[in-house]
Amino acid sequence: MKTYRILSLLVCTLLLGRVAWASDETRTINGEAMCAKCELNLQDTCQTVIQVKDGDKTVYYYLADNATAKAFHPKICHGPAQVTATGTVETVGGKQMLTVGTIEIKK
C-alpha cells in the first residue's frame, strides 16, 4: 500500500512539473490584433487581442498587461492589423493570456 502511495505521489509531481514547464514555453503567434472593446465588443475596457484561425475555430489570445502590450495598443485600438507576437501563453479564467515579449505589425 505504501508503495502505491509513493508511486502516485511521484506521478503527480511529474505531471505538475510538466504543466508548469509547458506554460513557460515561448511561442510565436501570427494573427490579427484588435481591441477587445472597440473592435470586438468582448469587454468594457480596451485590451489587445490577437485573433488566430485554427482550422474551423477562432482562438483569441488576450495580451497580458505589461509595458510592451501597453505601448503597442494605440497602434490597433481603432483598426486591426496583422501581427507576429512572441511570448508565453497560459490559460487564466478560461482565456488564453499571452505575456508578450515582442510584437510587430506585418507589412
pLDDT digits 0-9 by tens, 32-72: 999 999 999 989 999 999 999 989 999 999 999 999 999 99
Give the chain's mean pLDDT: 85
- The number of CA neighbours under 13 Å toward the Cβ of 96 is 14
Domain residue ranges in the chain = 26-105
CATH 3.30.1330.10 fits 26-105, yes or no: no
Of the chain, the percentage scoring pLDDT greater than 90 comes to 64
Does residue 9 have a pLDDT over 80? no
As a whole number, mean pLDDT of residues 2-16 equals 62
Question: Is the four-CA dihedral 96, 102, 105, 107 of positive or negative sign?
Answer: negative
The predicted pLDDT at position 8 comes to 65
Integer Cα distance of 51 and 88 in angstroms: 16
Quick check: 43 and 62 in contact, CB under 8 A?
no
Grouping H, G, I as helix, E, B as strand and the rest as coil, residue 103 is strand
